[in-house]
Amino acid sequence: MTKSPKSGSLQLGRATRLPDKPETAVLDRVPNPHADTDYVARFTAPEFTALCPITGQPDFAHLVIDYVPGRWLVESKSLKLYLASFRNHGSFHEDCTVRIGKRLRDLLKPRWLRIGGYWYPRGGIPIDVFWQSGRLPKGVWVPDQGVAPYRGRG
């Protein structure tokens, strides 16, 4: 579900209930005041949680979302609520990461978007998932996502 600022229903500045699941979460978008300029916007969610769809136990990840906006920006409160809606949702690491990337791509129609899902070990194996949409515009600087590979105690 998506709402634009034209509908007057932005979640920003209002008390908003945490969505029960990602499918019912509302993502808001706002006009990009610099739509004529290529630049990177980054969101980092170092405490992302979802549930293992098999065991129901929590899985934890550090998500980094980079995008070059076009006409739209994602409104950060709605993104925070959307990401939190995974907290009680059963889904594999790959599904969570790619689903978030595709939802943002469909909402924003960015010039470029990438998401890195750096998942903490489950069963002794960390899983990192990366997805991107589009091609990075020429001349745009994108910093490293800054998340070190998992090393455990080593």
28, 38, 59, 128: the active-site residue = 59
Residue 1 pLDDT level (bands cut at 50, 70, 90) = low
Mapping DSSP onto H, E and C, the string for 4-45 reads CHHHCCCCCCCCCCCCCCHHHCCEEEEECCCCCCCCCEEEEE
Residue 153 pLDDT level (bands cut at 50, 70, 90) = low
59 is catalytic: yes
Per-residue pLDDT tens for 15-58?
Answer: 788 888 999 999 999 999 999 999 999 999 999 999 999 999 99
Instruction: Give CA 138 to chain center in angstroms.
Output: 24
Mean pLDDT, the chain, integer: 91
Q: Tell me how crowded residue 78 is: count the other CB atoms within 10 A of its CB.
A: 23
* pTM of the shown model: 0.90
28, 38, 52, 95: the active-site residue = 52
Pairing of strands 72-74, 27-31: antiparallel
What are the structural domain ranges in the chain? Answer: 34-134
pLDDT at position 140 is: 97
pLDDT at position 7 is: 47
The fold of 34-134 is GTP Cyclohydrolase I, domain 2 (3.30.1130)
